Amino acid sequence: MKYVVLFVGTALVLSSSASAQEEGAVGSVEEASAATETAAPAEPAPAAEETAPPEEEKRSVYYKKTQGWLWMEGFVGPSAYDPDQFTTLDLTGVTPNAPKLNGPEYGFAVGLGLGGFWLGAFYRQANYSVYKLAKIGLDIQGIFRFIPYVHPMVRIDLFYTKTFDGDPFSGLTNTNVDGGGLTVGAGLRIPIIRWMSFAATFDWSLIGLAVRGDDTSGQSVKSGVFGQQLGATFALTFHFIGVRKN
């Protein structure tokens, strides 16, 4: 009987020890699993969507404003000139009347473009049937660029003028006719492309001429007249230096 009790006790002790080891092993596995879950890195956040670059604005073939520092201009147009519109030439009691003539006028100009202001030098020549009239001087233009695409403009010219290949007055020989004048004009300037524009103006000129020569009796004559010239100018202008691409 004593041995039976001893055997049963030993069996119970061994059984309880095995159960404790199994519970410890299960606990260790659960702790290891929890630690693994804790240490696992979080899922990466989705990358921010890349913003597509904005589409480049298409540039128009036309430009809103004239630009550039250096301007070179060629022009042509019709003109009409009456040398003694306001006064007459008195030659010892004879007053020869210079005829009013029509003819083409052409020329060129070079100058500086300063925003809405142009300052340049020009040469103009009008070809009439009896003589030619040349003008050289200072060209000043005001261009209202705040109105896009079609700029209103005004023109003021100060010039020296001279007739050649003939003269307006038929009653004189050995003539020398020159003088000066003022032109006032108004019109439009239209930008075409980045480095080119077109201008059209209507111009009125007041011209004073000093007339020197010999009359029919051989007497030396010195006199003067005031007249006017009307014309239209059609100009093609090229713009250089400082012309932006935008």
> Which whole number is the average pLDDT over 135-162?
94
Please name the helix (run of DSSP H) or strand (run of DSSP E) that holds residue 105, with its range, or none. strand 101-114
Residue closest to 65 by CA, chosen among 155, 196, 154:
196
Q: What is the pLDDT of residue 18?
A: 46
Scanning the chain, the segments in alpha helix (DSSP H) are 2-39
- Determine the average pLDDT of the residues in 92-119: 86
Please state, in angstroms and rounded to a whole number, the distance separating the CA atoms of residues 232 and 104: 10
CA dihedral 172, 177, 182, 187 (to 10 degrees): 80
Decide the pairing of beta strands 220-240 and 70-82: antiparallel
Of the ranges 131-135, 190-194, 237-241, the best mean pLDDT one: 131-135
Which residue has better confidence, 67 or 83?
83
Model pTM score: 0.71
List the structure tokens of 204: 């009125």
Could you tell me the domains of the chain?
Answer: 70-240 (2.40.160.20)
CA 21 to chain centre: 94
- From its phi and psi, is residue 126 left (phi > 0), alpha (psi between -120 and 50) or beta? beta
Mean pLDDT score, 188-201: 91
8 Å CB contact between 157 and 141: no
- Region label for 131, one of left (φ > 0), alpha (ψ between -120 and 50) or beta (otherwise): beta
Give percent of the chain with pLDDT exceeding 70. Answer: 70
Work out whether strand 132-143 and strand 117-127 pair parallel, antiparallel, or are unpaired. antiparallel
pLDDT at residue 203 greater than cutoff 80: yes
- pLDDT given at position 61: 52
CA angle 64/69/72 to nearest 5° reads 90
- Side-chain-side CA neighbours of residue 174 (13 Å): 10
Kindly list the distances between the CA atom of residue 177 and the CA atoms of 94, 99, 123, 161, 228, in Å, as whole numbers in the listed order. Answer: 18, 15, 18, 9, 15
Burial level of 132, CB count in 10 A (0-12/13-18/19+)? middle
Model confidence pLDDT, tens digit, residues 54-71: 554 555 555 677 778 899
